[in-house]
Amino acid sequence: MMAASIQKIINPSNSEIIAEIPLAQSKDLELVLTQARQAFDQGPWLKLPLKERKELILNISRGILDKAGELANLETLNTGKPIKESTFMDIPSSAKVFEYFANNLERLLESETVQLENAQSRLVREPRGVVLLIVPWNYPLLIASWKMSQALAAGNVVILKPSSLTPLTALELGKIACGAGLPVGVANVVNASGDSVGETLCSDKRVDMISFTGSNIVGKEILGYASKNVKKLTLELGGKSASIILKDADLEVAVNSALCSIFLNQGQMCTAMSRIFIEDDIYDKFVIEFVKKTKQIKLGPGLDYETQMGPLISESQRKKVLGYVEKAKKEGARLLCGGKIPGSPELKKGFFFEPAVLAEVKPVMSVFQEEVFGPVAIVNKFSSPDEVIDLANNSDFGLAASIWTKDACKANEMAGKINAGIVWVNTYGMFYPEAPYGGFKQSGFGKELGREGFLEYARLKNIFVDKTPDSKPLVNFWYGF
């Protein structure tokens, strides 16, 4: 297909063009929507036995592993994230999620029979139809794999819309899916900017479901688009997560883990623990060690295996993050380290930013309430569990939290009071295909992963069979003159 315009894909480590990709036009969208609808309504996909569906999805998992090195390099080139993260986290996790849902789809889709008085109800899980998967630029392959694996395993046809900033591994995933033997039209990838195609794709009645991960602002726009033709939605819209360090926590473990929880992937994570609350007894010791180790984080190009933090995704994102730091300083926050563009010549062509630590941040400040989506940590002290719960919950978001303590009973009690969809105790960022993930409040609704996440992609049908004696139900007599 010919496209009228080309998207230049930039390596954020050095601003060099690494690819030029055609952007979909209106005629391309119409073709994809028609093809996807036909593939679901008339194609062979739904007629395949579940064992055959399972094997095709397993082929995708194998295909990802077969191209693991190439995909890791491509992900790092496109996003700037350190190659160690792409190699040891993103790529194997992407393959694993396809493997898990392929191996468990028969169990997850198993029907349930309920015996009632003079009746039987059979509850059946069916695919929803054509599912639009919209994924962000921070984890292009991994989040696409989360969504696609569940949607396909449930029997749906998918249209994958990656960020136009980071489409490269999503396009490769589309090739892998086609090479796995999926019927034509079952797995589609559309490369385009959300501004140009978002309303068309989200409002079209041929799309039965939208699964979106991204910003709160765009999520609200999608809600409006979807209202034009009512459809199923799951939205994961970011967060302002809190890490709570109690005085009995292992200080070294807590410091190292807090560094990972905010600075991994350059802080460009919806679950980033950007607000770190430390019990006052250990606050000074924690902050000294945290700042010391923050200063030691090695910035560099993503493909360098010694790099611990790569560049931000774009110049506009760097300006946004820098703006939050400068505004916080003007509002009275104290910058303990970082928070500026590095001056070293080897980094000047990339979108690098020194990881920042801010203290004396008040809840009314923008940096406390708004998602920065960059390597900016807030450190605040607290003196009681009730105080820190109030601080943690003082946010419009409710995605994630972490609690660090040796007191299991206290951790469990505090976790029950935190208004977040996932609470990690003495760990951070552990995602398993078996366990659900998703937020509350302005962080959206719906789940990914686990049985609950999988069933978002299936509709529940109740097949009700009358079992009254002589096959004469009560309704037979209502007007039976």
Q: Are 13 and 303 in contact (CB under 8 A)?
A: yes
Q: Tell me the sheet residues that pair with 233.
A: 210
- Point out the residues that are catalytic: 236, 270
Q: Are 169 and 74 in contact (CB under 8 A)?
A: yes
Q: How far is CA 280 from CA 252, 365, 379, 459, in A?
A: 16, 21, 11, 49
Q: Are 78 and 168 in contact (CB under 8 A)?
A: yes
Q: Are 244 and 388 in contact (CB under 8 A)?
A: yes
Q: Are 350 and 14 in contact (CB under 8 A)?
A: yes
Q: Are 14 and 301 in contact (CB under 8 A)?
A: yes
Residue in the block written with tokens 């079209």: 204
**How does DSSP assign 352-383, residue by residue?**
----EEEES--TTSHHHHS---SSEEEEEEES
In angstroms, rounded to a whole number, what is the distance separating the alpha carbons of residues 117 and 119? 5
In angstroms, rounded to a whole number, what is the distance separating the alpha carbons of residues 454 and 9? 33
Q: How far is CA 464 from CA 85, 165, 385, 411, in A?
A: 50, 49, 50, 45
In angstroms and rounded to an integer, the radius of gyration of the C-alpha atoms of the chain is 24
**How does DSSP assign 291-303, residue by residue?**
HHHHHT--B--TT
Q: Tell me the sheet residues that pair with 397.
A: 441
